Amino acid sequence: LEKLAREGRIDRYTPVWDGGQFEWRPLHKATAQYSGGASRAEKAVAGGSPDAAPGTRSAASKSNSPTSDKAKRRAAVDQQRRDRQAQQKRPSKPAAFTPVGISEPLPPPPVVPRPAPPVQRPDKASAAAKNNAAAERVPLALRRWLARGIDIAVLGVLGAALLTLLAEHFVRDLADGAWQALEQPWLLAFFALFALIPLEALALAIFGRTPGKALLGLRLQRTDGRGLGLFAALFRSWQVTVKGLLFGIPPLTLLAQGWGFVRVVNDNETAWDKAAGSQMQYAPLTTNGWLTALAVMLVSWMSLLSGETGGRLQDLLYQALESLNGF
């Protein structure tokens, strides 16, 4: 600026960029707030060298007439107006600013890379606690599996016989074929899966448990602690048949039961309980309770697979009907 002033190319009204105010301002105003008075450039405009005595002026400054100073001020004001209008027409993103005396824009600030997030190492204590909790849930999953097996062999077979007996009063030929099918062990087990749905739902809605669950200290309720309704119990029983047993298809039902067992061990829940909004409550089970449940499981399934269960149920139901007719 001092050199430009000595050459007569700028004066005290020439607009320069004020970095503190972020705007174009006349030279004498832009430099006064930093130097506390006239700067070297402004003194050079006034005349002579910056170190000359006050009152001494150069021949070039004396040759400037008031008319030329007024024209320069008017030109400076017009230039400021044009710069302001041009700045208003620019896009919102500011262009690179080139200060006076610098022909190239300033380089952008260096980009500081973000530090990499710390690597979270697995906590050995939490992993051990998780494994211990999973090991403690293995007996709970086994109790649920035994309860389901007892319910199919006892409650499901009874439901299949009752449905066949009811069908006998409406379609005689169909009932005869159904009784013969019940004498086949695998057909009886397949029918028992679907016959169990209404009986299990009714037992869960009224008592919160089934015969198998009662033997193994299990009780079903909603997540808020209230009893399970009839429609929710029906939905849950259907979900067990579909997701937990895969309709009893032999190769697939084993995979489904294994998946449900692992889900209980790892997450302490099943897909059908989550869908129905229910949860299982576990009461303490003694050794005698375990032995009783295992005995009932073995006897009921041995009777079912022997092929004699269907005929025995038919005889028992007929005797019960004759007794009722006698009253």
Per-domain residue ranges of the chain: 2-89, 134-326
Q: 316 or 55: whose pLDDT is higher?
A: 316
User: What gap in Å lies between CA 140 and CA 136, rounded to an integer?
Assistant: 8
pLDDT at 109: 74
Q: Which token pair is 286?
A: 């003694």
Q: Is the pLDDT of residue 46 over 70?
A: no
What per-residue confidence (pLDDT) applies to 52? 44
Q: Which of 187 and 236 is assigned the larger pLDDT? A: 236
Secondary structure class of 209 (helix, strand, coil) = coil
Find the length of the chain: 327
pLDDT tens for residues 126-157? Answer: 778 888 888 899 999 999 999 999 999 999 98
Is a pLDDT exceeding 50 seen at residue 311? yes
Is residue 49 over pLDDT 60? no
What the block records as the tokens of 171 is: 């379609």
Structure token digits, residue 178: 């159904």
Residues 162/313, Cβ–Cβ less than 8 Å: no
> In whole angstroms, how large is the CA radius of gyration of the chain?
48
DSSP conformation class of 243: I
| DSSP 8-state symbol, 23 | E
Placement of tokens 């430099």 in the chain: 31
Long-range pairs, 123-128, Cβ under 8 A, ≥24: none
* Sequential DSSP letters for 303-323: HHHHT-HHHHHHHHHHHHHHH
To which residue do tokens 């139901």 refer?
317
What is the DSSP secondary structure assignment for residue 269, as one 8-state letter?
-
